[in-house]
């Protein structure tokens, strides 16, 4: 398969784009990564995802597929000869999807809001929400991993990708606020899991550096501060 048959529209810092990249890497799919600048949004992005106008967008044989978790499942379905990403058992699939939805709908929004929190009280509330979520995910890991290295068992699976894509921004947030959120004492299994996940060959080359994320966040906050009316 040539690279021209598979394209991925995205940005280096997006955790959702990382989901698509990890799944393609797991399946050993060659693809062309097209960095989106958003200034303005490219015509290819607007044409490929006219509903949401956001990345990631996977283009396979000129057909666009949107939304990160849908892309992960598509990759798993199409390139079935590689390692399976979604669990084989229907119940295990349902549980993995449940926690992936929780991450996107509840946990990550709290994490993302910490940096821009208005006041210390709001920030503390958000930190507690993130830590409580990590406690839930620690318990979920112990139940779904069945004593193995990953949520998906012996290898990285659907829930590993759904959660692991946020580790870069989790570390970046810790650096910016000076608080350790993923703690060895409170979440020992998740800490070890995170180390294994980031060291995986399908992940390590697409996981953004903490320093670069912090630099980007500081630049964005400075830009927002300068545009705020005095």
For 87-96, 115-124, 216-225, which range has the lowest pLDDT when averaged over its residues? 216-225
What does pLDDT average to over the chain? Answer: 94
Q: 3-state secondary structure string, 99-151?
A: HHHHHHHHHHHHHHHHCCCCCHHHHHHHHHHHHHHHHHHHHHHHHHCCCCCEC
pLDDT > 70: what percent of the chain?
Answer: 97
The model's pTM is 0.94
Interval 104-157: pLDDT, tens: 999 999 999 999 899 999 999 999 999 999 999 999 999 999 999 999 999 999
Residue 229 is predicted with a pLDDT of: 63
Which residues, in sequence order, are bridge partners of residue 31? none
Q: What is the mean pLDDT of residues 69-84?
A: 95
**Which residues lie closer than 8 Å to 41 by C-beta, 6 or more apart?**
53
Distances (CA, A) of 219 to 98, 120, 177, 207, 209: 35, 21, 15, 20, 16
Under the banding of pLDDT at 50, 70 and 90, the label for residue 4 is low
Cα 31 to Cα 69: distance, rounded to the nearest angstrom = 18
pLDDT-derived band at 2 (thresholds 50, 70, 90) equals very low
The pLDDT of residue 44 is above 90: yes
pLDDT level of residue 87 (50, 70, 90 thresholds): very high
Which segment of 9-23, 25-39, 156-170 scores lowest on mean pLDDT? 25-39
Nearest C-alpha neighbor of 165 from the set 203, 191, 135 = 203
Domains within the chain, CATH numbers bracketed = 3-78 (3.40.30.10), 90-213 (1.20.1050.10)
């Amino acid at each position: 398969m040539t690279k021209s048959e598979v394209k991925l529209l995205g940005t280096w810092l997006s955790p959702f784009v990382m989901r698509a990249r990890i799944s393609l890497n797991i399946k050993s799919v060659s693809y062309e990564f097209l960095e989106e600048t958003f200034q303005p949004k490219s015509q290819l992005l607007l044409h490929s995802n006219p509903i949401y106008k956001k990345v990631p967008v996977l283009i396979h044989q000129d057909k666009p597929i949107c939304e990160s978790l849908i892309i992960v499942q598509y990759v798993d379905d199409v390139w079935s000869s590689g390692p399976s990403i979604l669990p084989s058992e229907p119940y295990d699939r349902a549980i993995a999807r449940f926690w992936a939805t929780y991450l996107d709908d509840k946990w990550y929004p709290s994490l993302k809001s910490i940096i821009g929190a208005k006041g210390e009280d709001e920030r503390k509330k958000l930190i507690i929400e993130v830590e409580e979520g990590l406690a839930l995910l620690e318990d979920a890991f112990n139940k779904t991993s069945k004593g193995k290295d990953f949520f998906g068992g012996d290898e990285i699976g659907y829930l590993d990708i759904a959660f692991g894509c946020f580790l870069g921004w989790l570390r970046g947030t810790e650096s910016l606020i000076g608080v350790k959120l993923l703690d060895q004492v409170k979440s020992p299994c998740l800490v070890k899991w995170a180390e294994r996940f980031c060291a995986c060959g399908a992940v390590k080359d697409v996981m953004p550096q903490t320093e670069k994320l912090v630099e980007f966040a500081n630049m964005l906050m400075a830009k927002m501060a300068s545009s705020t009316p005095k």
